[in-house]
């Protein structure tokens, strides 16, 4: 369950409009405080689940901290032409 929630957390994190700034903040946070950063940011919150899934924030933070950059196609962009 924690792995699934962590993957959803990563997806929510990297598709946010301020993902690059948040990734920089996450990497600047002490490794033992990164799970709190993720929990406080709400990225591990799922509709219908009242409590955070144990271990999900840690896994999410670890996956994100391992990224060098946010994948370019992840951030929501409007590429339509008028």
Tokens of 57: 């924030």
The pTM for the full model equals 0.84
For residues 80 and 38, the model is more confident at 38
pLDDT in tens, 17-76: 999 999 999 999 999 999 999 999 999 998 888 888 999 999 999 999 999 988 876 655
Would you state the torsion angle of the CA atoms of residues 17, 18, 23, 28, taken in this order, to the nearest 10 degrees?
-170
Q: How many CB atoms lie within 10 A of CB 26?
A: 19
Tokens of 19: 């993902």
- The owner of tokens 């670890």 is 62
């Amino acid at each position: 369950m924690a792995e699934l929630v962590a993957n959803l957390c990563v997806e929510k994190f990297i598709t946010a409009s301020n993902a690059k700034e948040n990734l920089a903040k996450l990497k600047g946070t002490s490794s033992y405080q990164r799970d709190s950063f993720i929990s406080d940011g709400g990225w591990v919150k799922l509709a219908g689940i009242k409590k955070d899934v144990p271990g999900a924030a840690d896994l999410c933070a670890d996956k994100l901290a391992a990224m060098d950059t946010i994948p370019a196609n992840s951030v929501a962009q409007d590429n339509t032409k008028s």
